[in-house]
């Protein structure tokens, strides 16, 4: 099952008892997904998500004495998903019900219908059920709601802003898309609409990805450091061997001679490990200082010999 479908199924199961919340959610559903171009009068809601269709049907039944109808269009061989159509045909009381929802002429403005926090959450939940989608968090973080017009898109952005959700709007293929990109913002949205199981799933995936990325960074860092250590060791051995062949290690000061011999015997050791081979033991900075002196000495001797 797609992650987006899981979120919608969970959000559809959230049913508030207060009519103000039910009305706000129904308004969100119908503001984003209202179809009236089917050639017959009335109010239509279409979706491929069965849970969203059941939610709309249930809200119609709870909020009015009107009689909604449900039709299912079977998916074709190439399009497997069924399409669900929930319709309110012309009937007494329909106009009054639409005005009560905020959809008819002379109805209350959106700001009054979603004046309370619980109603704002319900409105966003309905909007996501009607036209929302969310990508698989294992691949990336992207949540969007397709809005039918600029007014609805602006309303969604404004309502999300109440919860510090910084939604943006783009136009894609002639449609307006309200979207969130950051993982924390998407987690916040899921919390607002009551999809807490999906929220926990996303958080688990995000923690796993963060740990994996941190491990990869540490491994890459260790690999880079190891490469540098090996490269430096090979360079040091080469120059110490040059001193051995031209000057002789016995001609070096005692401290440099001990470090030179230790490096020749243990070419793969780190500076710290090399210092533990000396008597008395020497720290990392001390070993590094002496090796650098040996390299300078070798370079100077090459210059003198014209090599």
Q: Are residues 80 and 186 in the same domain?
A: yes
How many folded domains does the chain comprise? 2
- pTM for this entry: 0.71
Q: Are residues 15 and 123 in the same domain?
A: yes
Domain that holds residue 45: 3-194
Q: Do 257 and 112 share a structural domain? A: no
Give domain status of residue 199, yes or no.
Answer: no
**Residue that is last in its domain, among 129, 159, 194:** 194
- Asked if residue 188 and residue 215 are part of one domain, the reply reads no
| Residue 137: φ, ψ to 5° | -65, -15
52 and 147 fall within a common domain: yes
The phi and psi torsions of 180 (rounded to 5 degrees) equal: -125, 140
What CATH number is attached to the domain comprising 92? 3.10.28.10
* Position 203 in a domain: no
pLDDT single digits (tens) 207-224: 888 888 888 888 888 888
> What integer pLDDT is reported at residue 37 of this predicted model?
45
Please state, in angstroms and rounded to a whole number, the distance separating the CA atoms of residues 52 and 7: 11
256: tokens are 């440099």
Which pair of structure tokens corresponds to residue 181? 């990109």
Tokens 């709601």 label which residue? 145
Give per-residue pLDDT as tens, 227-240.
888 888 888 899 89
Q: Residue 201: inside a domain, yes or no?
A: no
Among residues 132, 124, 125, the alpha carbon closest in space to that of 177 is found at 132
Q: Find the mean pLDDT for residues 41-57.
A: 86
Average pLDDT over residues 79-99: 84
Instruction: Check whether residue 106 and residue 178 sit in a common domain.
Output: yes
Average pLDDT over the chain, rounded to an integer: 87
Residue 200 lies inside a defined structural domain of this protein: no
Would you say 132 and 5 are in contact if contact means Cβ atoms under 8 Å apart? no
Based on the fold, state whether residues 183 and 115 are members of the same structural domain. yes
Same domain for 110 and 246: no
Residue 43 has pLDDT above 70, yes or no: yes
In this structure, the answer to whether residues 181 and 275 fall within a common structural domain is no
**Are 89 and 20 members of one domain?**
yes
């Amino acid at each position: 099952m797609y992650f987006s479908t899981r979120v919608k199924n969970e959000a559809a199961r959230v049913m508030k008892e207060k009519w103000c919340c039910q009305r706000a959610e129904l308004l969100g559903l119908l503001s984003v997904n209202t179809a009236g171009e089917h050639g017959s009068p009335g109010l239509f809601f279409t979706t491929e998500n069965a849970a969203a269709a059941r939610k709309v049907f249930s809200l119609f039944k709870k909020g009015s004495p009107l009689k909604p109808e449900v039709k299912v269009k079977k998916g074709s061989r190439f399009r497997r998903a069924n399409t669900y159509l929930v319709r309110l045909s012309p009937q007494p009381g329909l106009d009054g019900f639409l005005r009560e929802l905020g959809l008819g002429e002379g109805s209350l403005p959106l700001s009054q219908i979603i004046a309370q926090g619980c109603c704002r959450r319900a409105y966003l939940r309905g909007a996501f059920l009607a036209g929302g989608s969310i990508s698989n968090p294992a691949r990336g973080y992207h949540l969007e709601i397709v809005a039918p017009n600029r007014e609805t898109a602006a309303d969604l952005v404004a309502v999300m802003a109440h919860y510090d959700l910084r939604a943006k709007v783009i136009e894609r293929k002639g449609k307006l898309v309200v979207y969130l990109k950051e993982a924390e913002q998407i987690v916040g949205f899921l919390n607002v609409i009551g999809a807490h199981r999906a929220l926990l799933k996303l958080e688990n995936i995000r923690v796993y990805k963060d740990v994996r990325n941190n491990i990869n960074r540490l491994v890459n860092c260790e690999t880079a450091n190891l490469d540098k250590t090996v490269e430096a060791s090979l360079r040091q051995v080469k120059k110490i061997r040059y001193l051995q062949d031209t000057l002789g290690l016995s001609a070096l000061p005692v401290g440099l001679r001990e470090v030179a011999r230790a490096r020749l015997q243990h070419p793969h050791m780190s500076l710290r490990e090399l210092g533990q081979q000396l008597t008395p033991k020497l720290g990392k900075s001390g070993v590094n200082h002496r090796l650098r002196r040996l390299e300078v000495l070798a370079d100077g001797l090459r210059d003198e010999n014209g090599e």
